[in-house]
Structures are given as C-alpha cells and as structure tokens.
Structure 1
Amino acid sequence: MSEFWATFGVDLYLELDTATGRRSGLEHALRDAVRAGRLAPGARMPSTRKLAAELGLSRGTVSAAYDQLIAEGYLTARRGSGTTVADLTRRPAPAPPPRRDAVAPRYDLRPGSPDVGTFPTEAWVRATRRALAATSAEAYDYGDPRGRIELRVALAEYLGRTRGVLATPGQIVITSGYVQGLALLARVLGDAGTAAIAMEDPGLGFHREVVRRAGPAVVALPVDGRGARPDLLRDHERVDAVVVTPAHQYPTGVTLHPARRRALTEWARAHDGLIVEDDYDGEFRYDRQPVGALQGMAPDRVAYLGSASKTLGPALRLGWMALPHRLVEPVVDAKLHLDHHTEAVGQLALADLITTHVYDRHIRACRLHYRRRRDLLLARLGSIPGLAVHGIAAGLHAMVTLPAGGPGEQETLAHASARGVALGSLGGHWHRPGDHPQAIIVGYGTPREHVYPAALDTLADVLTQAGAALRSGR
C-alpha cells in the first residue's frame, strides 16, 4: 500500500492500494475521495499528465482511471472545461445538535456588545495596509510575548492622555482580550500564594469563573450606591487582590466614589494587595467629566486592564494590561507558556489607528452615537410608572429596576422574549441567590441602527403592559 500527497492546486491525500494493480488502486482512492466529500462537487481535477507526474504513474493509467470514473458517474468531462467532480446524490448529513440561542431574537437588547455596525472597516483596511507596508518581514515571525512594541508605545501615550494611566511601554502587555488578561493575573497571583480574590457583588459571573479556574477562591465584595465597599475587605484576611470596575460598575452603572477610591488604594498599600481595574467602557461618558483611571492614583498597586472590544469589536481579541513593575516578568512568562503571543497584524493596525488619531475620532463619533441611543432609551422608558433607570451617565447599558411586588425579572424576560426582545437580568449577577432587588439590564449598544427604535418601542410596550397588569391586580 502506498501513500501520496497529490496537489491539485489544493492538497489531497490519496491512499493507493496497489495490491490489485495501479489503475485499480487509483480508481478506488479517487472514488473514496469523492464519496467522502474530500473532492467536492464541481472541483476541477488535475490534468492526466500532472496527476501522473505527481503520483509516479503512467499517463495511460491515469487516463484509464478517469475514463472508468466518468463512466460510473463520479467524474464529468466537458470539452474545453477539463474533468470535474460530479454532483452525486448523497444522503443528507445529520442535523447538528441544537444550540442555545439557535433562534436569534428579533431585537437583541442584551448587554455586553457594542454596535458592531460602527466598526471602521475602511479605516482599519487603510491602517493595516500602512502598517504592513512600513514593517519588516519579522512581523510575521514569532514575537515578543509582551506584544508589538509599536502598539505598546502607542498605548502608553494614549492611555496616559485619555485615561490618566501612568505606565511605560515596558509595563504594558498585549493580550487576546480582557478575559485572557484576567486569567493570566489570577494564575500569577495564585502561583504567588494568593488564596482569594474579591470581586464585586453584583458582577459578571463568567469573570468569577475565570478567576476560580485559575486557582484562587472568589470572595464577594458588595456594591452599593457609591460603588464597591473597600471597608469590608478587612473581614477577609485571605484576600490579597480585588477586581473592580470603578469608572462604570457592571452591572449597576455606579461610579466608585472618590472617598472609596482612596480607601481602596490605602487598603492595597497597607496589605501589600493588588487592585485589578477593569476599564471595560471608560471611553463612553455622556453627562459628566471623564473619570480617570484608578491606576493613576497608585500605579504600583493597580493592574489596569482594557480592550478594544467595546470601542471596535470583540472579534479583534485585542486587550492590554498596564502592570506594576513587579508583575511584568511573571505575567509575561505566563503569557509565553499560554499562547506565546497575541496575533501581530491586528496589533500593528491598531497602533496605526492610535498614532494617526483615527482611533480618537472613531471613539468621539461612537460616543455621540451611543449618547443618542441612551437618550432615546430614556425617552421611551421615562414615562412608565414604577421604573427607575440607573447607570446612564456612561457606558453601553442601563439597569432598570422593576416595581416592588410587580412582575419580577423572569416574568418580565419571558414577556419580552414572547415579543422577540432579548434582555439581561440582574439576578444572574449576584454571587449567591437571595432576596435581591429585581431589575433588568438593557444593552443599547447591540442592535443595528435600523432596528433600534422598534426594539425600544417593543420593550416599552412590554414594560407598560406589565405595569398595567400589576395596577389592575391581574
């Protein structure tokens, strides 16, 4: 039995059993390739001369094999078009297993994603062309685990200018999104002896699971109207690190009070602790002055994490960390042994967007875009009795508390789903089930522009009907 790689313009593996003869072996191998779908219907076959040379057979043997498969209906031959694979009637492939959210909602108002329709495609293509034209061939080789120096230099300037982050390019590590950054830090901290990490309550359950899988336990840090409560950290001696969203807490939308910002950094200094700052949507603020990064108050005690997921799109998988000096080496080592380095071409393109200030202009345009959406959301929901909308000064989502004694989260979500509207709920964000406030989370970044007004009209109708049913006692 002989094995050959035949290149028909694309690679195809053929296993020739020559025990019954070369022609018979070739016919059998090609027949199996067609049946298995490795030679797709319509695929152009190589000339008999080319295939004979590649397989070490005579041209007559290949021609005879082709003629036999044409006669059997596996191949077709047309004058001037060469030989192609026939379209056989095959049994349909089994249906794939059902997926969650297999049927997309008509109106997706779940939080977590931006309006990806705003992605600056033309600007990204131009930036990629400029970056690739200016770089050398080494950009396509294995790279620095910290990331491309071009992007780290650009981010050091940009984050300092726009978010008040104090870091040199040497303190910045490029990651494949925020989640990878959080996982790397949790792993490094766990390896260094951190038993537990405090995380905001309510907060994103997926992020809690990321930390747990990296090793440390997770401790709930309650959030109130002034943000996370650092005073409660004294009750947890095992906690050496805390993850917070100070600019726009997720999901409540509250901004960490200045006194608590100071208290949090004082705790970190007094306990040799680390603050992990998740600045997931700090660029988008509407009714207030920008809130600078907490990192600027204590660069030696704060690991600042950001990404392009909200400003450009989650598909890019580009994030960054600005680290205290002592954490750079262990995080880089962990990154090296996880995936070596984040893909380089996107880094070069983003660096170009930042240095040419196209990124700034894009964010300003998006800020206006999302503010109009936020204002439309308030106009639609503001007149509905019993509702209160929170966290609207910044970001891409709002928390809407529901009337006490009225339709709860799950009932409201079910009513909305029946009308084709998908929402988020506050319930899944708590560390533990209990008697918590009832609220829905509305993401106003996700829907495409042409459906957004209709999505809000339908949401307002759902909430109005729920309130009417409550008042009527039904």
Structure 2
Amino acid sequence: MTSSDAKLLPTLTDGLPLSVDRDIPETLAAQLRRGILNLIRTDALHPGVRLPSTRVLAAQLGISRPLVLDTYAQLAAEGYLSLRRGARPVVAGEAVAPPDGEEVLAEPEQIRFDLRPAMPDLSMFPRRLWLRSLRSVLANLPASDLGYGDLRGSPVLRHALADYLGRVRGVIADPAFIFVTSGFAEARALVCAALYAKGVRGLAVEDPSYSDWVAVNKSGLRRTPVPVDAEGLDVPQLAALSAGAVFVTPAHQFPIGGVLSAARRQELVRWLRERDAFALEDDYDAEFRYDQAPIGALQGLAPDRVIYAGTASKTLAPALRLGWLVVPSDLVETMAGELRRWSEGPPRIDQDALAAMIDSGAHDRHLRKMRRFYRDRRDRLLSCLASALPELATEGAAAGLHVTLRLPDQIDAAGEARVIDHLRRHGVATEGLGRYSTTCAGPRRLFIGYGRIADSAIEPSIRILASAVRELAE
C-alpha cells in the first residue's frame, strides 16, 4: 500500500462517542477500555478505522494521556487494535500495511492474547489514589526530607511496612531491619552479595524456579537445584547439600503454584537453625489468595534465619519499582555495607506515597477490590479450561495470577516447546516448564496467566491453546 493509498483509510479526527464518569466505582481505564470495545463489537468502529491520537482522546475526555496510551496498548495486546510507531491506532481486522516510513511495533501485533504468568493488569493501577497520595506527600513533606536520606529507605515507609507486613503476612518486622529496594531483582542481588560477604558460598534453589540468575552468578554463589513436589521444596534433599542458604517461594511456589506444607516448613526451619543457614523468602503474590485465608509468611517462624522479600509490582504496578526486604538483625550491617556500593535507593517521594496509601487504608481497599477482580477472571479461565480440556488437571489455582496446566503424558520437553511455539505463531503468549527448569522430572506443564488478559479474550485464547495441545498430543 502506498502513502497515497494509506490516506484513504477512514480516520476519526473529532474524537470518539465516549464519555467517562468519575462518580462510579469503575476505574477510568476500565471505562475507556469497555467503551472502545463496545464500539468495535457493534461495528461502530470498522476494521481499518484510525482512532484519535492519545493526545486528542485524552483532551476530549479530560483524562491523562498515559491512561489512553495504556488502554490502546492493552487493546493492541488483545488483538483489537494495530499499533504503528508515529501513527494513530488502527482497528484490527484485515491486514493494513503501514504507510511509507512508519515502523511497525512488533510485539503488540505478535501477542494477541497475553497468558504469561505472574503479570498484573496494568489498566487497574489506582491512578486517582496514587495521585492523591502524591499530593498529600508533596503538601506535607518538609524540605529537610528532600535530601538523600537513609540508604535503607524512607523511615515513613519502613514504619508503614512493619505494621502492614505484621498485620497481613505475619512478618516480625522492626523498621530498623527493613530495606526498601527498586523491586525484587535488586533485592535478590543485594541479598546474594550480602550472603557472599557473610561467608556463604552455596545457594540451594527450588527446581523449577526463576530463569534469571545473573545476580546470583555474579555474586559468586554456587546454585544447586532442589526438587519441588506436592508439598513444596524437598527439604530432605536440601539437607543432603552443603548449601549455606536457600531460595524459596513458600506461599505460592513459582511457577508450579503449590504451598510449602506445614511439616516441610518445620523441617526447613530446623535445617536453617542446625546449619546456621539463611533462607530468602520471595512472597511475590501472597496477597492474592482466593479460596481461603492467606498462608502466613515463613519468616514469622524464624525471623533470625529468614530474609523476607516483597514488592508492589503485583499489587500496584511494576513501574513503581518499589520492593522491600526484612532482614535478620545479624545481617543488617552486612546488607547496609553492600548497599552503599551500588544504590541510593528508590525515590523518596514515591516511597512516602506508598506509605500514605497503606496508612490511610486505601491500599487495603484496593487489594480487596483486586482480589475480587482476579478471582472472577480466574474462575472464568478455569471454566474455559474445564470445557476445552476436561481431561487435563490444573494446579496452583488457589492463589496468585496464573494457573498450571499439566500436559498429556505423551508430550515430552520437546513437545512442550512445540506447543509454546505453536501458540506464539497464533498470537498466544504463555510459558512452559522448560523455561524454568532443564532438570525437573515429572509431567510437562504450561503456566497460564490471567492477570493481563481481558475476560472477552479468555475463551478464544483457550480454544487456540486446546487446539495446539490436542494436535501435538496425537
């Protein structure tokens, strides 16, 4: 298609027939997304129609431009819009070639249905609550607090976290032992450096577990995988190792989704005390438990042996880059020494804004809302899986933002990789066991996230997934 042909595409220059209402409980982002979807589904917006720019639509509705940008990106990821750099979004349908000189943004077009695990719905970020907290902080923060401050983080946030974590997660937290970090990656890197400085050389890790271990490798620690079974980390196998530390996700094992059993927790605590070892507990999504009360943190059983890690990435948004560590007292000095080598900490104002949300109760209210939101989406996903693949079992559905689908026995590691590739070529993004382990025995698995996919996209994405599994299982 030439540039002159591109000019023939219909374009909405006067805005969309949309409105938003700030007086209803639904977020502005959800209202905007719902409104555009309704226009597409009722054919008010035909395939090939160009939508207004983010600036024009934001001005029309009296909302922020980033909110419109996020909504367009979400709809593009779900397959409803086509994005081109430097051009207005186009309603998806028949392929529309980009005008000359315009570069295609590859990822939104490749991913129609985002089923990747452990990813939150970014459109649900509570913008008004966050803005209110920022305004409160800016109005009341004394000029003396605008300096570099304590490397461990804002005292205001550390006190708020001590109260919050004790109340919600059963964590025994003294504000003096809390370190605020720029998310979990920095927290893990800091812990590994501190453990090495403390004399630890071996780190046991769950198998399967996270795929990115660059920080561990750079720290000098040797990694040894320990199998995970129905009760969580296999502590008897851990006891046979010479590791001085262990990495665990006890509340919701990542990625399989199980819970470390009460018996295994006691065994692990005994091992920590007998070996004078440390555990790094990643409590990455424990706030989202749907069918029963949340499982308490392991740290509450052994605060002198367990380093507790949490973030705001799942509860609010990864872009905030806010995480925290609760550190045993005899690691605080070592941790502080390592911290001075590489970080000045996250922005103080954002830290205090999070503290204001926690102290005002807004954070708790947002979490209650999101639990209902994700639970309903999870239930819809499980219903679609049960209908499309009734012969396959699911695991880890009681908590978090993803479920685990056990693949048919005849699908091996190579077959799992082919399923993933088949789905990718059909616009479905998900992940399999092969990404998180090269040694894990047992059935192959897919990890299916429901954090970012819209309700309307769940059924078509699962149909594609079921078709791929059946085709490759034959």
The answer to whether the superposition gives a TM-score over 0.5 is yes
Q: CA deviation at 1:465?
A: 2.3
> Which residue is 2:57 aligned to?
none
8 Å CA contact retained: 1:415, 1:462: no
CA distance in 1, matches of 2:270, 2:188: 22
1:396 aligns with 2:398: no
Change (3 A) 1:139 1:429: same
CA distance in 2, matches of 1:364, 1:348: 22
8 Å CA contact retained: 2:249, 2:283: yes
8 Å CA contact retained: 2:152, 2:336: yes
1:386 aligns with 2:388: no
8 Å CA contact retained: 1:181, 1:305: yes
> Which residue is 2:277 aligned to?
273
8 Å CA contact retained: 1:277, 1:304: yes
CA distance in 2, matches of 1:276, 1:259: 19
Q: Which of 366, 370, 374 is residue 366 of structure 1 equivalent to? A: 370
1:231 aligns with 2:233: no
1:127 aligns with 2:129: no
| Secondary structure at 2:244 match in 1 | strand
Q: Which of 334, 341, 344 is residue 348 of structure 2 equivalent to? A: 344
> Which residue is 2:145 aligned to?
139
1:148-297 mapped onto 2 (5 Å cutoff): 148-206=154-212, 208-237=213-242, 239-297=243-301
| Secondary structure at 2:451 match in 1 | coil
8 Å CA contact retained: 1:143, 1:341: no
1:425 aligns with 2:412: no
Change (3 A) 1:445 1:134: same
CA distance in 2, matches of 1:99, 1:234: 49
> Which residue is 1:112 aligned to?
118
> Which residue is 1:329 aligned to?
333
Q: CA deviation at 1:369?
A: 0.5
Q: Which of 333, 352, 358 is residue 354 of structure 1 equivalent to? A: 358
Q: CA deviation at 1:136?
A: 0.7
| Secondary structure at 1:337 match in 2 | coil
CA distance in 1, matches of 2:240, 2:106: 40
Tell me which amino acid in the other structure corresponds to 2:115: L
Gaps of 5+ in 1: 1-93
8 Å CA contact retained: 1:164, 1:293: yes
Q: Give the TM-score of the pair, scaled to structure 1.
A: 0.75
Q: CA deviation at 1:409?
A: 1.6
Q: Give the TM-score of the pair, scaled to structure 2.
A: 0.75
Tell me which amino acid in the other structure corresponds to 2:194: V
Name which one, 1 or 2, has greater alpha-carbon Rg.
1
1:292-311 mapped onto 2 (5 Å cutoff): 292-311=296-315
Greater share of strand:
1
Tell me which amino acid in the other structure corresponds to 1:452: D
CA distance in 1, matches of 2:360, 2:302: 30
CA distance in 2, matches of 1:435, 1:244: 19
CA distance in 1, matches of 2:215, 2:123: 29
* Aligned pairs, number: 372
